[in-house]
Structure formats: C-alpha cells, structure tokens
Chains A and B, each alone.
Chain A
Amino acid sequence: MSMVSRFLIPGLISVNFKAADKADAVLKLCTMIAAKLDCDAESLFDTIMNRESLKSTAVGHGVAIPHARCDVSDFVVAAGVCEKGIDFGSADAIDVRIIFLILSPKNETTSYLQILSQIAALLNVEKNREALLGVKTPEEFIELVKKNERR
C-alpha cells in the first residue's frame, strides 16, 4: 500500500499558507513544487486547474484535494494549512483551510487512487482536521499524518 506520508517533505508543506482564492492557492502550491522539481509551475497549474474545471476537488469540511496525472516520475504531494479559508466551490459551502495537492505519474492509477483515498479518509475525521489546523511546523504536520494515516 502506498502511504501518503512517504511522499511528504517539509519543503512542500506550508503551515501558514495564504492565498487570495482557489487559483492563487493552486498556483502557490504549484510554484513550491516547481522550485523543488525544477519544472514549469504554470504547466502544473494548468494541469490542476483543468482537472478542477471538470469537478471541484473540495470534499467538504474545509478540505480540498486538488489532483491530476501528469508527466512526473513519482508522486508529488504539497500541502497548505490556512488560517483564513479559501472558496473552493465546495458543496457544503465551507471555505477550505486544508489543501493537499497531488501529482501522479500518468500510469500509476492504482497507487494514485489509494493515496487520494487515504488523504480523504484521514481528513474525514474531525480530530485529524483539527490537529492539522493546529500544527506549527511542516515536520509536525508530517508526524501527524504518519501517526493517523490508515494502513
């Protein structure tokens, strides 16, 4: 089973994330990834926003999991925890405060869906969401995910 925590690195987690709106949030996370992977942030942004245009990845309870398959060699996960909520067009109309952005290699559908499901399962639990909203450092964020992800 592919575990989410395996793909979390401190440099791709912002525990004091700020964005004006959904596009700005996605662009900022893509820019973080692009700096790490040395690739084009705008291309990643377009890929994610194209997927978002088909159906919003806001899953409710202030959580969004933007994701897409693209030309990456391994899974990339970036995350942002915001103090001020962002409108992601969620069905429950609650602004998003926890964002996990996932990029997957095009041919890794099985692990891709498993990772997405794991994140959704983790964030479906209220105490996990509250704990993540209270973290002070990316390392603390990773530890929390590691401790609570389902195996």
Chain B
Amino acid sequence: MLVSQFMKSEFRTVPESMTVSELAMLFVSEKHEGYPVVNNHQEIVGFVTVRDLLQAFLPNYIRNISDFFDYSDNFGYLEIFYMRGKGNLFIVEDIMNYEVISISEKESLTKALVIMFLNKINILPVIRGPKILGIIRLRDIISVLFEGS
C-alpha cells in the first residue's frame, strides 16, 4: 500500500503572509490540527499547527512544575496583542515550523504511520521536491485498515 493511493489530493494550504488571527479562525471553523505553509510559488516552506499558535500563551514556568499550580487567570498583554484583533503584527511565517516532516508519494503507508507515531503528529504532507501533492492523516490510515471490517 503506497501513500499515493491513499493521500488526500484536495487539502488546504495557508500562505506565509496569513495573519495569526486569520489562521486561528481557520482552526476554529475547519477543526484541522495543522496546515502546510506555502510561498507564492506554491512550494512548501513550513507547517503550522494548533500547538504552534497556542504555545506563546504557555507560561515559561510550566517547565519547572509537575503538578497542580495556581495558574494566572488571564494571558496579560498577549491577550490584547496576539488574540484580540491586534494580532496582525504576527503572521504564519512568524510561528510556523521551518523543518517540515514529510513523505514521498512513493513510500509505503506503513512508513507514513511510523513517521507520524515517532514524531507525534497526525498529518503528514506528501511532497515531490518543493511541491506538495497531498496530505496523509492518521484517520486516513484508520479508514484503510478498518474499512469493511
């Protein structure tokens, strides 16, 4: 079973220049966990996830605590400048991952599953050179394995 047989060829990409406010609305409306980021030539230049969007709101002290802590009840100035309308200073390029974990369409579905598990990701862009051909998701693999069972 090859990735090319089961990848989704219709998928959404986001441009590097999209503001994080617009990206946030996409995450809410489409319920996806991540999008490939493309440049003006439709070449993949990064990948952005819900976690990338939210990580700025994590207090730095989370690295030093392991259990219950009396967390602050708001996000301070980040609420204003990142979340509420003034987030236009930030664009996708500012928060995306430059190193894209991807797979070729000629690889096996097993390899796609292994890559997703090892990297704790749910979506894998399928690429040929700098071009993105599609995506393969964990749920697509579930469909393949359990369809008709």
Tell me the A residues contacting B by CB distance below 8 Å: 1-2, 51, 54-55, 57, 59, 65, 67, 69, 106, 109-114, 116-118, 120-121, 124, 150
Judge whether B55 and A121 touch: CB under 8 Å: no
B90 contacts across to A, CB distance below 8 A: 113, 116
Judge whether A113 and B95 touch: CB under 8 Å: yes
Q: Interface with A: B28-36, B72-80, B115-123, B125-133, which one?
A: B72-80
B104 at the interface (CB under 8 A from A): no
> In B5-59, which residues have CB < 8 Å from any A CB?
16-17, 19, 52, 55-56, 58-59
Q: For the side of the interface on B, what is the size category? A: 20 to 34
Taken together as a complex, chains A and B put the C-alpha atoms of A2 and B77 apart, in Å, by: 13
Tell me the B residues contacting A by CB distance below 8 Å: 16-17, 19, 52, 55-56, 58-60, 76-78, 80-82, 86, 88-91, 93-95, 98
Which residue of chain A has the shortest Cβ distance to B92 in the bound complex?
A54
Which residue of chain B has the shortest Cβ distance to A109 in the bound complex?
B95
Judge whether A67 and B94 touch: CB under 8 Å: yes
Given contacts A113-B82, A116-B94, A120-B86, 9 further A-B contacts (CB under 8 A): A51-B93, A67-B94, A109-B52, A109-B95, A113-B78, A113-B90, A121-B80, A124-B80, A150-B76
The 10 closest A-B pairs by CB, nearest first: A113-B56, A121-B77, A54-B17, A117-B81, A120-B81, A55-B91, A110-B55, A55-B17, A117-B78, A150-B77
Taken together as a complex, chains A and B put the C-alpha atoms of A27 and B88 apart, in Å, by: 24
Judge whether B55 and A109 touch: CB under 8 Å: yes
Judge whether A1 and B19 touch: CB under 8 Å: no
